[in-house]
Structure formats: structure tokens, C-alpha cells
Structure 1
Amino acid sequence: MRRMVLAVLKQIKTKSSLNGMRLKAGWDEAYMEEILLKIKGF
């Protein structure tokens, strides 16, 4: 599961770092839901 999440986060084109996106997903439930929906289509 962790590797799938990291693969999806790497595909997202943003200016923030991978670590920053992981932290944001931990704090922001809407952002985490967005990532999980992208995993479903993975």
C-alpha cells in the first residue's frame, strides 16, 4: 500500500516535495481522499 501511495504521489505534478505531500495528506482529509481516488484508478 505504501509503495502504491508513493507512486501516485510521484505522478502528481506540484511544486511541493514528496515529503510535503505526505504530510499534507496526513493533515488534510480532502487531499488524502483525492490521493486515494487516484490509487483506485492506478
Structure 2
Amino acid sequence: MDNEVLIPTEGNYLRIGDFAQVRITEAREHELVGEVVG
């Protein structure tokens, strides 16, 4: 597992390197998937 969380870009404006509060919604074999909260 690397230090990344996949976040769908729909409705979010995030640039590479930005920090955001996220809620983890899914754990895959080698990745985490989340959504921006707040």
C-alpha cells in the first residue's frame, strides 16, 4: 500500500499535493478510496 487515497474529482477542486479531510469509503487490495468531507 502506498501513501495515496483515490478521490473522485466530481464536484471537488483539488490539485496534486493539496491536503483535504477525507472519509475512506472503500479499501481495495493496494489502494484506499475516499470522498472529501467538509
Global fold match (TM > 0.5) = no
- Hey, which of these two has a bigger chunk of strand by percent? 2
Q: TM-score, normalised by structure 1?
A: 0.30
- Hey, which of these two has a bigger chunk of helix by percent? 1
Q: TM-score, normalised by structure 2?
A: 0.30
